[in-house]
Structure 1
Amino acid sequence: MNGIRRIVLDILKPHEPKITDMALKLTSLSNIDGVNITVYEIDKETENVKVTIEGNNLDFDEIQEIIESLGGTIHSIDEVVAGKKIIEEVRTPQDRH
């Protein structure tokens, strides 16, 4: 199946709900095969998290709706993979910096 296969998001969220709850809520969507959430910054009231979602024909609007319903805000879309297969990023000489 074509469409979006992976999306990586930078999200600002409150401490509650926990990232475990967010992951389970996202995996309740029919086309999602897996979700990874990594906390990379914590302050007094919020957490910055990196969310990686894989599946088939992912619906960004549905994903965004769930994140926002949990109090999260998408800061950026950091990676999108689409097509028949997932192509992993390869380091090149331009990536040395």
Structure 2
Amino acid sequence: MAGLRRLVLDVLKPLKDPSIVDVALELSRIDGVEAVNITVNEVDVETLSLTVVVEGDNIDFERVRTILEEVGAAIHSIDQVVAGERLVEIPRRLRE
């Protein structure tokens, strides 16, 4: 069954626990998730600005959102969604 294969999320998380390591591990436990990448873009006094990339087969977006909310994080935007039988990359000429 084809479903969500990649989510790229702009996320704001409180600086306090849990760590981004713990958040990544928790997200990786979701059925259908094969890989998680969390990149810190900015550190503020009380918050971390993150890019969260989740890849897999038939990712449960609502479960991803729930886990992020449980750790006090907020999704600011959904920057990329890939769905279907395979991953589709943005052509290089469109990225420049």
Note whether the superposition's TM-score is higher than 0.5. yes
The answer as to 2:64 corresponding to 1:63 is yes
**Once superposed, what is the RMSD of the aligned Cα atoms?**
1.1
Identity across matched positions, percent: 47
Distance 2:34 2:6 in 1: 10
SS in 1 for 2:21: helix
Query: Match of 1:18?
Result: 19
In structure 1, what residue type is equivalent to 2:7? I
Query: Match of 1:8?
Result: 8
What runs of 5+ residues in structure 2 fail to find an aligned partner?
A: none
In structure 1, what residue type is equivalent to 2:10? D
Distance 1:66 1:5 in 2: 18
| Greater than 6 Å deviation, 4+ residue runs | none
The normalised TM-score by structure 2 is 0.94
Distance 1:45 1:11 in 2: 14
SS in 1 for 2:11: strand
Distance 2:31 2:72 in 1: 22
In structure 1, what residue type is equivalent to 2:76? H
Shift of 1:95: 4.5
Shift of 1:89: 1.3
The normalised TM-score by structure 1 is 0.93
Question: Aligned ranges for residues 17-96 of structure 1 at < 5 Å?
Answer: 17-92=18-93, 95-96=95-96
